[in-house]
Amino acid sequence: MTVVAPGARPTAPLHLRLVATVALALSLALCHVPLRRRIAVVRQARRLPYVSARRLDALYTATTAAVPLWWPGRVACMEISLATVIAAALTGRRARWVLGARFRPDAAHAWAEVPGHAVGRDIGDAVDRPWTAVMRVP
């Protein structure tokens, strides 16, 4: 699980930060509903064309930059990846929301991807123990 901690914060253009801020607020609000409802929300974007890999990188950076330092709750991989997918949908494009796992030690993780490119997946110690996608939405 990845948790955004205080430190060097990424920067992003203002228009992407605004979209990411709205998407992050929606993502944090959706964390209080069951997973099946969150999946249903993400599936609403299934008819949109995929976002480009470069734009997905920019939206992910903007989303991590939009995480408020004062937020008392959890803002980890699940919330950030969901916010990235929602931000893509707010710009008229889609990305897949992926929930995955790995063994030794057992861990769960979430990331966003488009065909051929993923953001938020290979972070930290994932080089020697890659993540396996368990579910891709949509």
Q: What would the pLDDT profile of 41-100 be if each residue is shown by its tens digit? A: 999 999 999 999 999 999 999 999 999 888 888 899 999 999 999 999 999 999 999 999
Structural tokens at position 121: 């997946």
The Cα–Cα gap between 128 and 38 comes to 31
- pLDDT band of 128, cuts 50, 70, 90: confident
Q: Which residues pair with 96 in a beta bridge?
A: 113
Q: Give the pLDDT score at 57.
A: 95
Q: For residues 20 and 104, which has the higher predicted lDDT (pLDDT)?
A: 20
Structural tokens at position 64: 């991590």
- Whether this model's pTM surpasses 0.85: yes
Is 7 part of any domain?
A: no
Is 127 part of any domain?
A: yes
Neighbour order of strands in the sheet with 96-102:
117-119, 107-114, 96-102, 132-137
The overall longest dimension of the chain from CA atoms, in Å, is: 41
Is 35 part of any domain?
A: yes
Is 8 part of any domain?
A: no
Please give the C-alpha separations between residue 83 and each of 4, 106, 109, 129, in angstroms, as whole numbers.
14, 25, 15, 25
Omega of the bond prior to 13 within 30 degrees of 0, cis?
no
Number of domains in the chain: 1
Q: Give the pLDDT score at 105.
A: 81
Is 2 part of any domain?
A: no
Is 1 part of any domain?
A: no
Is 116 part of any domain?
A: yes
Domain region containing 54: 13-135
Is 117 part of any domain?
A: yes
Compute CA 14 distance to the chain's CA centroid, rounded to the nearest angstrom.
19
